[in-house]
């Protein structure tokens, strides 16, 4: 049997594998605390559910334009103007896609050639490396400095070569919870513009901002020249399984990405697009839900784990995760610790090594679990880590 060397060389998602193992234990009757999966535990706002049901009843289940319905793109443009101050053309500078992950793949497939290099400030989301490799490009990790893991344009500059084509940034950041400052993004964008390198900004957690101000790449006038921005509905509106997101870029890039959509997914799910329109019209409902849940959970993390001398917590400015270093980060096996936490304590948690070299010796805690469950799990986690 012949299989692709490229695909067989790719690593599976560590988070997905842990989630699958946790589900097996649950089927055996064991109690599992799900601190591994980055999924909000609340439902989408009611108008979203109503719009999806109504669209289904009316038979609005056919193909849509590959770029997404114009009604959706117009609402996205209004949302971007309101949140970033940028005027983005719904006709030719926005494309709706089947989830942010496919948006990242489609964007990289569009702008990269085999052998090109992509800079990944690290720690970074688990899928970046695999997506880069899947388009036959080369990921280059840039280890950022703990505990804040701030974006460092000088450090990025040290890693740039003649083959560098893309710098990926993610703010608010998964897994660290860091929000890059306006200056950090500006300095990175200036560096990229001077050298003719794309900046691909993953802004999927843009509505999860708690202890800092947030700046979009779209806030800078240079975005049309070298910027590609990916955002979507999964996290902000708890629409993870509905697979809907968008890309904003200049019209030449969007035209080429549209080709990728046409020969892969054809278009985003039609009923999800109607839900997306309703979501953006009622964004305040989503913001209220986030505001009344995640800050309480952040407080619980620091209340319970903050005085534990065996760990170091990264300040949580945004996103929906806590990122902690165990000891000095070098003398512990975070993968083995994650395995023990699942088997002995029933805590499903993602090891930091899944997020690249700079994640070694860390654990990522998802805050997408109800406060009562989280508190119990954190107490168990504290007892476990106290003995390391």
Residue range 17-26, pLDDT digits in tens? 888 888 898 8
Cis preceding linkage at 147, omega within 30: yes
- Tell me the per-residue pLDDT of 176-198, one tens digit each, with 9 for 90 and over: 999 999 999 999 999 999 999 99
Residues linked to residue 42 through DSSP beta bridges, in sequence order? none
Pick the most confident of 15-29, 48-62, 326-340.
48-62
pLDDT at 304 over 80: yes
DSSP state of 343: I
Where does residue 238 fall: left (phi above 0), alpha (psi -120 to 50 degrees), or beta otherwise?
left
Structure tokens at 162: 């003649």
Residue 321 backbone dihedrals phi, psi, to 5 degrees:
-140, 155
Residues 306, 158: Cα–Cα separation, whole Å: 35
Low-confidence winner among 5-19, 105-119, 164-178 (lowest mean pLDDT): 5-19
Residues 126, 174: Cα–Cα separation, whole Å: 9
pLDDT at 279 over 80: yes
CA dihedral 105, 198, 246, 9 (to 10 degrees): 10
Structure tokens at 350: 């993602």
pLDDT at 16 over 90: no
What percent of the chain has pLDDT above 70?
100
**Residue in the block written with tokens 């513009």:** 193
Q: Both ends of the chain: CA-CA distance in Å?
A: 45
| Helix, strand, coil percentages, rounded to 5, for the chain | 45, 15, 40
With beta carbons less than 8 A apart as the criterion, state whether 350 and 356 touch.
Answer: no
Residues 218, 151: Cα–Cα separation, whole Å: 17
């Amino acid at each position: 049997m012949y299989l692709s060397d490229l695909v067989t060389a790719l690593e599976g998602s560590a988070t997905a594998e842990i989630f699958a193992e946790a589900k097996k234990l649950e089927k055996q009757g064991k109690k599992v605390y799900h601190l591994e999966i980055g999924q909000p535990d609340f439902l989408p706002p009611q108008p979203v559910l109503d719009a999806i049901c109504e669209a289904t009843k009316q038979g609005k289940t056919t193909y849509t334009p590959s770029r997404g319905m114009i009604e959706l793109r117009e609402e996205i443009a209004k949302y971007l103007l309101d949140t970033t101050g940028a005027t983005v053309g719904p006709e030719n500078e926005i494309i709706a896609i089947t989830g942010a992950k496919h948006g990242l793949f489609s964007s990289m497939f569009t702008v990269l050639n085999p052998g090109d290099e992509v800079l990944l400030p690290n720690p970074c989301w688990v899928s970046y490396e695999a997506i880069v490799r899947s388009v036959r490009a080369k990921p280059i990790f840039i280890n950022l400095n703990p505990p804040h893991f701030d974006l460092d344009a000088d450090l990025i500059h040290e890693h740039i070569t003649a083959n560098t084509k893309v710098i990926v940034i993610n703010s608010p950041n998964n897994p660290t919870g860091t929000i890059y400052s306006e200056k950090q993004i500006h300095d990175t964008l200036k560096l990229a513009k001077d050298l003719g390198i794309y900046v691909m900004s993953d802004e999927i957690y843009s509505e999860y901002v708690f202890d800092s101000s947030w700046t979009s790449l779209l806030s800078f006038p240079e975005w049309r020249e070298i910027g590609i921005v990916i955002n979507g509905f999964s996290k902000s509106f708890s629409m993870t399984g509905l697979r809907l997101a968008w890309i904003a870029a200049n019209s030449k890039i969007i035209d080429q990405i549209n080709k990728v959509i046409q020969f892969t997914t054809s278009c985003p799910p039609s009923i999800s697009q109607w839900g997306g329109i309703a979501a953006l019209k009622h964004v305040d409902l989503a913001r209220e839900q986030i505001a009344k849940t995640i800050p309480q959970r952040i407080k619980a993390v620091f209340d319970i784990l903050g005085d534990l001398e065996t760990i170091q917590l990264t300040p949580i400015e945004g996103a929906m995760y806590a990122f902690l270093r165990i000891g000095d980060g070098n003398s512990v096996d975070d993968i083995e610790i994650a395995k023990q936490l699942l088997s002995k304590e029933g805590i499903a948690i993602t090891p930091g090594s899944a997020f690249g070299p700079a994640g070694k010796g860390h654990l990522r805690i998802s805050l997408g679990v109800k406060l009562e469950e989280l508190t119990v799990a954190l107490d168990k986690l504290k007892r476990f880590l106290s003995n390391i």
